Amino acid sequence: QTNSTYFTKLQPISVYPNPSKGSFNISSTLIDGDIQIFNMNGKLVLQEKTQGKVNINNLQNGLYTFVLKTNSGLYSGKLSVVN
């Protein structure tokens, strides 16, 4: 039995504005997917389906990491929230 890991190169994406206040946008040809946002302690604080705009009104000020899952693979990044 063998285990294989397949990596897919994603299209470039942009996350803006960053720092964000209230919401942020994801610009790419592959934006439909699930997004997970984690605080700096690794706790999942937001998870939703997205088509390009993510509402972050309920998040406190600070730094977060996010993972965007699409049919083509994963993209992760950092986001600063300033409400």
Give the tens place of pLDDT for each residue, 36-75: 999 999 999 999 998 888 999 999 999 999 998 887 778 8
Q: Which carries the bigger pLDDT value, residue 12 or residue 72?
A: 72
The number of beta carbons lying within 10 Å of the beta carbon of residue 3 is 4
Secondary structure element (H or E) that encloses residue 34, with its range: strand 33-39
Assign residue 73 a region (left: φ > 0; alpha: ψ between -120 and 50; beta: otherwise): left
